[in-house]
A and B are shown apart, each in its own frame.
Chain A
């Protein structure tokens, strides 16, 4: 073994700072059935700091059959303690506590318990308890992941007023090399180059940003300006290709100038300032930036400074330059010289950015003695072309769109839902309909397996449970046919609301009913994986979490995300 870091394979994704965020996290799990323990398993392994397991059950034989974190010897013992002990045994870096109490009692009787958690994972929580919990956590600004496994179907819902992604890591987001609007050091490098008189070795190793800035200058001088139209930009790219030199080795073997390949590939965009990614544009347009308060997260001050920098030093079109240059054809010396130019500009931009940051903080009355750390500023600038802000729809708003008569009552359970988006109150989102339409557009004639339809069915099962006190098909010798008929009625209401009445069938109701609320391990493991994946994103503020529901259909193994 050549590495002494057991987290090596994950810190290559989220870095030491991401690992630190996980290590400082306090996670609360409600209900320690397999869906819950599988979620925690995937968070204890990567080193999440502290876990609290809340569960009021005693271990049964059935638990031994679907929950890996209980054993035969544990039958009859409190499930919270048993699962916690088996979970912690996996990773000595993690500590935790067990609360042997029914989560519903805790939510109702001791809501203050949830203050201070970095994340609450509610597994298999029934609707009323979930609504109460979501209202409590929303007001505390504690993120909630609600997860359930139900037969072969599963769902995971995130709720949090606002989530910010410091490092969204959008694949298409690449650093702006400022070819269209070169900064002085880059322009100076290009100006110092003479493509006609330089030796062959230099000619074939000039980094392509330098080539493009140089050639753009020549083109502009000759044509009275930079290429503007699509045709002109294409013509420029073609012309760049003609500026190659015929070079051969001493033995007469031709050498192809690869730096010109790179220049041609980037030439047609060379006169266009790099546009903001839509996610970044959204952040910079966020009304929050004009109403900063001293208690706000650093992110908002950094975003405000970014906006101000772009308007001032960035002349309305550039973000701060990144110090790291991607690899490209060049000699070591030419590459390092170019990298120095970028580093120099990055230093200047950072200083200007920090001045904006200070002004924004001062205006909001932030404590001077608690500045934004240098490391946070560096990381923010390194990934400022890929930041994102997300605002979640409250769970109460989703569930208020149930039967009309109790819609208002459900909305009242969540005060946050009541203000702001009044027009959306009680509305089914278009997500389910869109999901079906998308499948149809791809040529699918049988949409019965569309994951979003199964989210509708879970709601119908919950309606049944609210009305009867048991889930359809559950309990001692249930009448499956009668239960399914009842479920179908509830499903029809939601299907109509979501605009998919034609696609929710009696067969869907029969399938949901046959499950009888069973919790098979593979579905629990699938959902637990998704919970942990999203939890890591929420806790590290890296990557982009799901907005807002992940639905798994294990009948045909299809899955989708929908905003419900």
Chain B
């Protein structure tokens, strides 16, 4: 098999790469892919094209297998509870060019589920230890490790990947990843999406016996931002309860870290991983509880409240990761239908596990409607004439109805190029000096300018409005 060459020749992310360049992977074995051959080489009446979220047509055969083994590059965000599982699952499903990033180091409390880590790894970087383990165990696989948060990769770097899988524990990183993949989608002049620029984003999450996996196809399914309200705000404590009427041991712990730390250890940053800091909070919470006659402050509770610890178990992580990896496999090979598009597992009481489509939000700031007007005008066109052009006809909106503007402001505050008389805030008076100037004196050729108007709101154009001025002469 010439597998090793294919696997290790992948571009390790070019100039962006800060990844640990892996040692050359051991070659794949002749019979290694026996368990997926039937899925890839035999025809199916239920290929991807037959599903309710079709991405492509299943063509059984060696080409499809080669696409998986030798072309598909997959990015895993996070090498924790989900990430460890994902790396194993992907490697054993025929993905051979896997990239993973995680900035965390290994903690003792990870060991009950993050099975690529051992006691001796505590303190080491998660992504590097995980990548090394997978490469040692599974022949033919290259795993490139990074130690940066996703926010530190530029959007264009994600273009390298056929699919991105998120095994994250926070909302902010998910939002960044989601927005980046939405931004990468390119449309032609008619506003039609270039399908080759769509990178599916598969996301998993768990809490105790509950978890979910979902497939986000930017501009086709709901994106992460469309359904942000599904994540309830973090449970906080009322400050007056904490400071004056504590009733529960949790209130005493909250008092220790919300009030006493600031007061008694001013200027010092609370390190929630420091045993000394945690012990201090525990002692203070215990004193507070004794003062009020409240029972039940323990070290474990102190940790739980301070760090907002979410219970995590091996089985839920395994389930969610496996379903995510399965979607990646189907999206790359088309050997089954893509999940449409949200799968829940709620296993506290029996096992309720529905799959259903989450709907796109027309007010989504990541994939909602957007106005982006391209105008080709002579250089001598004045700012006033441009404004007249923008208010004289319905302007097209991507994924929504055209909008006719009654008033318009061109350019963003404070660099307003021109605003019509009805625009509030004095911007007309401040910009009217530009009214009769030719655009060639005011803007660059091909410059994109923000457009505002009373009809342009977060509801009608959640992704904003702009005009790009191109000089025709």
Interface pair A45/B314, CB less than 8 Å apart? yes
Would you call B311 and A3 a contact (CB within 8 A)?
no
**A90 touches B (CB below 8 Å):** yes
> Would you mind naming 20 contact pairs between A and B with Cβ atoms under 8 Å apart?
A3-B107, A3-B303, A10-B113, A45-B115, A61-B31, A61-B34, A62-B34, A171-B349, A327-B247, A327-B248, A510-B44, A510-B45, A520-B35, A521-B35, A522-B92, A525-B325, A532-B315, A557-B337, A559-B343, A560-B353
Tell me the minimal C-beta distance from A444 to chain B in angstroms: 9
Interface residue from A45, A511, A545 paired with B46 (Cβ < 8 Å): A511
> Digit string of B221-253 for contact with A (CB within 8 Å is 1, else 0)?
000000000000000000000000111100000
Contacts beyond the supplied A8-B303, A168-B349, A332-B294: 10 A-B pairs with Cβ under 8 Å: A8-B112, A10-B311, A12-B300, A47-B112, A171-B349, A514-B42, A526-B318, A530-B315, A543-B209, A550-B353
Contacts A45-B314, A556-B51: A480 and B35 contacting too (C-beta < 8 A)?
no
Do A529 and B112 have beta carbons less than 8 Å apart?
no
Number of chain A residues close to chain B: CB under 8 A: 87
Interchain CB contact under 8 A, B107 and A1: yes
Q: Chain A interface: which of B186-194, B269-277, B370-378, B385-393?
A: B269-277
From residue B307, how far is it (CB to closest CB) to chain A in Å? Answer: 8
Instruction: For B326, give its contact among A12, A170, A554 (CB under 8 Å).
Output: A554
Contact B314 A42 (CB under 8 A): yes
Chain A residues near B213: list those with CB within 8 A: 557
Question: Does the CB pair A62–B35 fall under 8 Å?
Answer: yes
Shortest distance in angstroms between A9's beta carbon and chain B's nearest beta carbon? 4
9-residue interface stretch from A64-72, A188-196, A347-355: A64-72
A427 to chain B, nearest CB (A): 22
- In the complex, A15→B38 CA distance in Å? 44
- The one of B39, B112, B316, B317 in contact with A7, judged by C-beta atoms closer than 8 angstroms, is B112
CB contacts (< 8 Å) of B46 on chain A: these are 448-449, 507, 511, 555-556
Give B421-465 interface residues, CB cut-off 8 Å to A: none
Residue from the list B108, B113, B304, B310 in contact with A1, Cβ < 8 A: B108
Least CB separation from A66: chain B residue? B35
A6 interface residue (CB < 8 Å to B): yes
Chain B positions within 8 Å of A376 at CB level: none
Report the separation of the CA atoms of residues A555 and B47 in the bound assembly, to the nearest whole angstrom: 8
| B319 contacts A170, C-beta separation under 8 Å | no
**Residue of B29, B88, B89, B351 with most partner-chain A CB within 10 A:** B351
- The residue in chain A whose Cβ has the minimal distance to the Cβ of B34 is A62
Given the known interface contacts A6-B108, A518-B35, A521-B89, the answer about A13 and B45 at a Cβ–Cβ threshold of 8 Å is no
**Nearest Cβ on chain A to B358's Cβ, whole angstroms:** 14
Closest CB of chain B to A148's CB: distance in Å? Answer: 14
Contacting residues, chain A, for B310 (C-beta < 8 A):
9
In the bound complex, what is the Cα–Cα distance between A97 and B98 (angstroms)? 35
Interface string of B12-34 (1 = CB under 8 A from A): 00000000000000100111111
Q: Is the CB of B318 within 8 A of A528?
A: yes
- What 0/1 pattern do residues 305 to 338 of A give for CB contact below 8 A with B? 0000000000000000000000110111001100
Question: Is there contact, CB below 8 Å, between A557 and B34?
Answer: no
Q: Are B300 and A8 in contact, CB atoms less than 8 angstroms apart?
A: yes
Report how far A528 CA is from B294 CA in the complex, Å. Answer: 43
Known: A62-B34, A557-B327. Is A2-B303 also a contact (CB below 8 A)? yes
A8 touches B322 (CB 8 A): no
Q: Is A4 in the interface zone, CB < 8 Å from B?
A: yes
Task: State the A residues within 8 Å of B (CB).
Answer: 1-10, 12-13, 34, 38, 41-43, 45-47, 60-62, 64-68, 71-72, 90-92, 151-152, 168-171, 205, 327-328, 330-332, 335-336, 446, 448-449, 473, 480, 507, 510-511, 514-516, 518-523, 525-526, 528-530, 532-534, 536, 543-547, 550, 554-561
Q: Compute how far the CA of A18 lies from the CA of B138 in the bound complex, rounded to whole angstroms.
A: 35
0/1 per residue, B249-292, Cβ < 8 Å to A?
00000000000000000000000111101100000000000001
Contact of A3 among B30, B37, B108, B352 (CB under 8 A): B108
Q: Is the CB of A556 within 8 A of B349?
A: no
Is the Cβ of B247 less than 8 Å from the Cβ of A9?
no
Quick check: B89 and A514 within 8 Å, CB to CB? Answer: no
Instruction: Count how many pairs of residues, one from A and one from B, have CB atoms less than 8 Å apart in the complex.
Output: 274
B108 near A4 (CB under 8 angstroms)?
A: yes
Which of A64, A72, A511, A520 is close to B36, meaning CB atoms less than 8 Å apart?
A520
Instruction: Return chain B residues, CB-CB under 8 Å to A557.
Output: 213, 323, 326-327, 337, 339, 343, 355
- Distance in angstroms between the alpha carbons of A528 and B42 in the assembled complex: 26
Bound form: Cα–Cα A532–B112 in Å: 13
> Would A518 and B311 count as touching, CB distance under 8 A?
no
For A91, the chain B residues whose CB sits under 8 A away are: 111
Contact present for B340 and A68 (CB under 8 Å): no
A484 closest partner in B (C-beta): B45
Q: Is the pair B312, A545 in contact by a Cβ cutoff of 8 Å? A: no
Residues of B within 8 A of A92 (CB): 119
- Cβ contact within 8 Å between A9 and B273: no
Interchain CB contact under 8 A, A519 and B109: no
Chain B residues contacting A560 (CB-CB under 8 Å) are 353
B414 adjacent to chain A (CB < 8 Å): no
Q: Pick the contact of A61 from B30, B122, B329 — CB < 8 Å?
A: B30
Q: Tell me the smallest distance from the CB of B181 to a CB of chain A, in Å.
A: 20
> Do B245 and A332 touch across chains, with their CB atoms under 8 A apart?
yes
Closest CB-CB distance, B69 to chain A, in whole Å? 12
Shortest beta-carbon contacts, A-B, top 6: A529-B319, A529-B318, A557-B339, A521-B92, A525-B322, A65-B32
